[in-house]
Structure 1
Amino acid sequence: MATTTSNNIKSLHEKLRVDSGSFQQLQQELQANIEARKTFTQQATENEMVLEELKSLEEGANVYKLIGPMLAKQDVVEATSNVTKRLEFINAERLVKRFVDFSRSRSFCFSTRLEKAAEAIEKKFDQTQRDIQILQQRIAQLSTGAAAGGGGAMLDTA
């Protein structure tokens, strides 16, 4: 009976080690997702500011684009078009769809692709965390049971 309990504890420790590794990987994925969302939000904000500046320029104004170490003159219409396309790309990547309900002065934002990915990671993260807690409880119960000489009983989590 003691050998069975010992084997159960070893098996649970191995599962705990694997789940802990998965947990750490999910933490890294979640952090990468957060960083990606921050980057896209920052890029969108910067490009929206540039677009506003371009719209406020008078026709014929000089606009320069940084290309490597050089500033190249660019037409205002072309610059506006480039920034608009860049914003479309950024927003498509974020898949942000904003609708403003003017009668209620509210803005609605549907989930973005990155937010949906974060939600999926968070669900896995939470499940792995629960699995780890259950394994730790099982190990503690088996260890306590083995130390008491009773062989220990397994928690039924199914």
Structure 2
Amino acid sequence: MVETGPWGVEAREATRRERVLARILAARLDRQLAAGRSPESHPLLSLRAQRLARPSTRLALARAISRVLHEASSPLRRRQPPLADLPAVREVERDLAELVDQLVAPVPVSARGVALVHEMLVDGSGPLYLRHSPRDLSEMIRTATLALDPIADWPAAA
């Protein structure tokens, strides 16, 4: 069903094919969203953005960060080798805890921010896992935290 709103915007239900493609192409779509591409620019991006912004997805990411924080603060290492670069995690512990709080807060978030968090967690060559990554973990967390605010995605008023 297609509905046309007052500004000529068409809303329609996603097809089965689009839903399947959005799942298959999730990593590629996440990179595009993290880079700032608008979810409204393509149906697959819109579907992925909707999935990322779900409370269940946000909670799963928050739990993953919490596990990393727990491992970094635990005197007994349960994993050999450790899951993450534990000294780097200890350096940004407060920032990661703030990120967890934002992810579980019952407020709308930007899909771009959630995509950035997801990217940080799944990139095994990133600074969360490798001490000598060319990217800075603190900066990645700060960027994701700021990007979670849906207002941050709005273009500046002219």
Greater percentage in helix: 1
TM-score exceeds 0.5: no
Larger relative contact order (C-alpha < 8 A, sep ≥ 6)? 1
Q: TM-score w.r.t. structure 2 length? A: 0.30
